[in-house]
């Protein structure tokens, strides 16, 4: 049984086996969580991302997939980079967003990670509505078989924290 916890604040301040990055398919950095991960984690992460581009992901990491690198100076062993979908109105397919959580947990299992921290993927620059994204995140983590013992969502603002709280329901 995987415990699901909510915490407020900056994901790059979290201690865990793995921290999930809301990346883009270039794997070469950006704003939001991605910017913070590379800023605080240091250049080692970007160096591994560049190597991944040169080897396995010449065309970029596809949406909904996940790949791990070192966590550099972060208080974690690995960063798992995943690419969320861009929201494009109410007809947007939620499957790639669910896939980000599922694939990140699959990579975490491969690594042997027991604690994993996620941000609210796609809810920033990629504009996915928070309530819907929170529901997809919580439902997917709950329904994915994994050896990860603790999944933590690091939520930057109160609005995100409350949306995830509503999905998690009473303790």
Selected from 57, 78, 101, 156, the binder of ligand AR6 by CB under 6 A is 156
Question: Closest approach of Cβ 16 to ligand AR6, in Å?
Answer: 13
Spot the catalytic one: 17, 34, 109, 132: 34
Among 99, 123, 140, 144, binds ligand AR6 (CB under 6 A): 123
Cβ-count burial of 165 within 10 angstroms (0-12 exposed, 13-18 middle, 19+ buried)? Answer: middle
Please report the beta strands in 12-75, taking only residues with DSSP state E, as ranges in sequence order: 16-23, 66-70
Instruction: Please give the residues from 54 up to 113 whose contact with ligand AR6 meets the rule CB under 6 A.
Output: 84
How far is Cα 113 from Cα 170, in angstroms, rounded to an integer?
A: 27
- At residue 155, φ and ψ (nearest 5 deg) are -115, 125
Annotated active-site residue 34? The verdict is yes
Question: Interface with ligand AR6 by CB under 6 A: which residues?
Answer: 10-12, 22-24, 30-34, 36, 84, 119-126, 154, 156, 160
């Amino acid at each position: 049984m995987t415990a699901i916890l909510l915490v407020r604040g900056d994901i790059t301040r979290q201690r865990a086996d793995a921290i999930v990055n809301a990346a883009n398919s270039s794997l070469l950095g950006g704003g939001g969580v991605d910017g913070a991960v590379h800023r605080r984690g240091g250049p080692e992460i970007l160096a591994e991302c560049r190597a991944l581009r040169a080897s396995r992901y010449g065309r970029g990491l596809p949406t909904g997939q996940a790949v791990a690198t070192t966590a550099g100076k972060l208080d974690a062993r690995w960063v798992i980079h995943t690419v969320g979908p861009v929201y494009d109105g109410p007809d947007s397919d939620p499957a790639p967003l669910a896939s980000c959580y599922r694939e990140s947990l699959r990579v975490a299992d491969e690594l042997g990670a027991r604690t994993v921290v996620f941000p609210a993927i796609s809810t920033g620059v990629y504009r996915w509505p928070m309530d819907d994204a929170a529901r997809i995140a919580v439902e997917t983590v709950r329904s994915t078989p994994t050896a990860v013992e603790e999944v933590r969502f690091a939520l930057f603002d109160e609005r995100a924290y409350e949306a995830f709280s509503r999905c998690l329901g009473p303790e």
